[in-house]
Amino acid sequence: MTGYQNHKDDILRRLRRVEGQVRGLQRMVSEDTYCINVLTQVSATNAALQSCALALLDEHLNCCVTEAIGKGGGEAREKVTEASAAIARLVRS
Amino acid sequence: MTGYQNHKDDILRRLRRVEGQVRGLQRMVSEDTYCINVLTQVSATNAALQSCALALLDEHLNCCVTEAIGKGGGEAREKVTEASAAIARLVRS
Amino acid sequence: MTGYQNHKDDILRRLRRVEGQVRGLQRMVSEDTYCINVLTQVSATNAALQSCALALLDEHLNCCVTEAIGKGGGEAREKVTEASAAIARLVRS
Amino acid sequence: MTGYQNHKDDILRRLRRVEGQVRGLQRMVSEDTYCINVLTQVSATNAALQSCALALLDEHLNCCVTEAIGKGGGEAREKVTEASAAIARLVRS
């Protein structure tokens, strides 16, 4: 079971948009676009990918983590620790 | 009630260390330390502050959010939304 | 003229790898991969894109900015201001 | 010689403000402020520290790096490589 089950189409749409942005970057480089303009697009792509991650994380907390906590026991703590580690990777990437 | 209640001393110790780092930065600038060395210390300070935030967040999820979910109802969802917004601010800062 | 002229193939290879990672993310979501595993891959993709940006920036400083400074005058200052703005966007994205 | 020589007071003022923010964080934790409010302040402090770093970097590029490039030779390339490494540390911190 995944937390994004009910928003799968939305997540896929966002990821396809990011793919389009990355392909746009390749085109810009192929056509010798000025470095700064390429960098501006890289920043935009990064921001789009991060928004995607934040959406996934919110759904994960609302579904998987919430469910584990509802059941209680050791699994709840484990799920929170796992989520915290994912947040740390995101903050540091 | 706060999530960091049982780790208050640890959080305060970390924050005092960050304060020491920021004061160290002032000393470096006062003594005309080479820019790159100042920047290296700024990066280290930023990383220390971020670790602090990740510790606070982990405790918040383990206590406040877990408690709200345990109680169930609208408050659980509200707490998760609030935590997601804090994570987004952290990722983007 | 672009700063990455002599490393165009390398930049394109990196961007194609990022595209592959983004397509991998779509596959993972289509196949209902566990949220945390998707998030780990998003962090890796973000890091790869950022490395790409840092390589572009280094080449921009070594070519375009260095050339403008060599010529001197107002253009040098302008190029540095432009590069600083790009760095700020990168740091904040 | 430092790049921030002519803006030393401004940099010191910013760093003292960051110190005040970090002390404010300690006060908040001492007074058991709600986790999310502490985290909001951590994000603001991080952003202030990052702005400081971007100002230092801009001055470094405008002074030290520009000067080294003006002189030409191996030192120019060395300074750019050093600046790129500092930017990478900043982006990743």
Q: Where are the alpha helices (DSSP H) in chain D?
A: 8-30, 35-60, 66-71, 74-92
The 10 Å Cβ neighbour count of residue C3 is 22
With CB atoms and an 8 Å threshold, state whether D36 touches B86: yes
Q: And the tokens for B73?
A: 């109802």
Sequential DSSP letters for C58-71: HHHIIIIIHHHHHH
Angle subtended by helix axes C35-60 and C74-92, to nearest 10 = 170
Contacts with B41 (C-beta within 8 Å, 6 or more apart), sequence order: B21, B24, B25, B28
User: Do residues C78 and A57 lie in contact, with contact meaning Cβ atoms separated by under 8 Å?
Assistant: no
Assessment of whether the complete model's pTM goes beyond 0.80: yes
Nearest Cα of chain C lies from the Cα of D40 at a distance, in angstroms, of: 16
Q: What's the pLDDT at A93? A: 85
With CB atoms and an 8 Å threshold, state whether D46 touches B46: yes
C49/B84 Cα distance (integer angstroms): 24
Report the CATH number that the domain containing residue B69 is assigned in CATH.
1.20.58.1000
* CA D10, chain centre distance (Å): 12
Total count of domains within chain D: 1
What one-character DSSP code corresponds to residue B4? Answer: T
Nearest Cα of chain D lies from the Cα of C16 at a distance, in angstroms, of: 22
Q: And the tokens for C81?
A: 């201001």
pLDDT digits (tens, 9 = 90+) for D47-75: 999 999 999 999 999 999 999 999 988 89
Nearest CA in chain A to B74: A62
Which ipTM did the prediction report? 0.95
Give the structural domain span for C65: 5-92
Give the closest of C1, C35, C64 to A3, CB-based.
Answer: C35
* CA B53, chain centre distance (Å): 2
pLDDT digits (tens, 9 = 90+) for C6-62: 999 999 999 999 999 999 999 999 999 999 999 999 999 999 999 999 999 999 999
pLDDT digits (tens, 9 = 90+) for A28-58: 999 999 999 999 999 999 999 999 999 999 9
Q: What angle do CA B74, B71, A52 make, to 5 degrees?
A: 55
Give the closest of B35, B59, B89 to D2, CB-based.
Answer: B35
Q: Which amino acid is at C83?
A: A
With CB atoms and an 8 Å threshold, state whether C39 touches A2: no
With CB atoms and an 8 Å threshold, state whether C84 touches D58: yes
pLDDT digits (tens, 9 = 90+) for B5-63: 999 999 999 999 999 999 999 999 999 999 999 999 999 999 999 999 999 999 999 99
With CB atoms and an 8 Å threshold, state whether B26 touches D38: no
What one-character DSSP code corresponds to residue C21? Answer: H
pLDDT digits (tens, 9 = 90+) for D19-55: 999 999 999 999 999 999 999 999 999 999 999 999 9
The 10 Å Cβ neighbour count of residue D85 is 15
